[in-house]
């Protein structure tokens, strides 16, 4: 399987993910939609819920992300909160086993770049609604400049919501130490490789370095007291997770695999059939551009598919 750093166009695509001019161009292309639909469960809440219901019926769990990031407008941050509250209300009517339903939050979409307290208060409101509905919450990771702020907010929220999860990115050099600190009782850590364009001063650059860091971090989490969430499509990481879990004496209820909506569906189903917990990250909403570009950056096959779609329409 192609890993996160093996696309030579990755730096350019990740830079494009932050370009308003390119966003305006790409989002106008009709050819874009066919590929976006592979990764994004529609623009609207009803479309997302339809995708969620299909995944739940197949025995998988879900983590739903209302797309948006780098919000600089308080009204937009408030609109994002309202979208999550509406989604959680819909979830509250579904009778699912245990923790099958989760929402994922990006703090920058809740106003982190405007004011830390604003993001904290908005996240707290969502966490309270989710707790009342029996829905899990995980705070997502973004680029390294937000890591300290994000983890400080997570620590504060966990005082009232101890099951709050967060994401750590294995390509950051700091992450193994963060895993040691954050793998205590009731912790939930989603470990991913990382999907932003980071400098070598803070992040490993080669595929092998990132994979080795992932393995070290994963072993720390499996040997810890929390609930590891193995976010990877890489067969090496999936096999390692099984090995580390067995060595740590973990049952299949004491960790989970996580994969992205639209990627490796057959592998997701195989793991479910093997009695493993599998959670699918389901993004939806109109602000899909940044997420879409990061998916292109991760897998050259996605970029080739997109290029063929463009050529076929010219």
Q: Cα 296 to the chain's mean position, in Å?
A: 15
Query: What DSSP element (H or E) covers 119?
Result: helix 116-133
- Name, in order, each residue with C-beta under 8 angstroms of 91's C-beta and a sequence gap of 6 or more: 101, 103, 133, 135
The helix/strand/coil state of 247 is helix
The secondary structure of 3-66 as a DSSP string is -TT--TTHHHHHHHTT-HHHHHHHHH-HHHHHHHHHH---SSHHHHHHHHHHHHHTT-EEEEEE
Dihedral of the alpha carbons of 306, 63, 284, 83, in degrees to the nearest 10: -160
**Residue the block writes with tokens 């819920």:** 49
Find the catalytic residue in 10, 60, 65, 140.
140
Whether 38 is catalytic: no
Whether 265 is catalytic: no
Largest CA distance in the chain: 56
Catalytic residues: 140, 190
């Amino acid at each position: 399987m192609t890993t996160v750093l093996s696309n030579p166009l990755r730096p350019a695509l990740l830079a494009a993910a932050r370009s308003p001019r390119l966003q305006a161009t790409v989002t106008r292309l009709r050819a874009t939609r066919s590929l976006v639909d592979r990764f994004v469960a529609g623009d609207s809440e009803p479309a997302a819920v339809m995708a969620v219901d299909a995944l739940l019926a197949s025995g998988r769990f879900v983590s739903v992300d209302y797309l948006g990031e780098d919000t600089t407008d308080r009204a937009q941050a408030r609109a994002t909160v309202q979208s999550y509250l509406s989604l959680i209300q819909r979830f509250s009517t579904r009778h699912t086993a245990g923790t099958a339903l989760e929402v994922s939050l990006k703090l920058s979409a809740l106003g982190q770049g405007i004011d830390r307290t604003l993001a904290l208060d908005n996240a707290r409101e969502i966490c309270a609604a989710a707790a009342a509905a029996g829905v899990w919450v995980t705070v997502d990771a973004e680029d390294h400049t937000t890591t300290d702020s994000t983890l400080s907010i997570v620590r504060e929220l966990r005082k009232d919501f101890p099951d709050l999860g967060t994401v750590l990115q294995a390509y950051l050099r700091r992450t193994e130490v963060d895993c040691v600190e954050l793998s205590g009782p009731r912790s939930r850590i989603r470990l991913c490789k990382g999907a932003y364009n980071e400098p070598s001063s803070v992040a490993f650059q080669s595929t092998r370095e990132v994979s080795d860091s992932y393995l070290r971090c994963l072993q720390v989490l499996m040997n810890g007291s929390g609930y590891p969430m193995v976010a990877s499509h890489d067969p090496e990481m999936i096999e390692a997770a099984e090995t580390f879990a067995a060595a740590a004496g973990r049952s299949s209820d004491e960790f989970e695999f996580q994969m992205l909506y639209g990627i490796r569906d057959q592998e997701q189903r195989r793991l479910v059939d093997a009695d493993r917990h599998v959670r699918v990250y389901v993004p939806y909403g109109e602000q899909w551009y940044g997420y879409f570009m990061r998916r292109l950056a991760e897998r050259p096959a996605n970029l080739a598919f997109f290029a063929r779609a463009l050529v076929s329409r010219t």
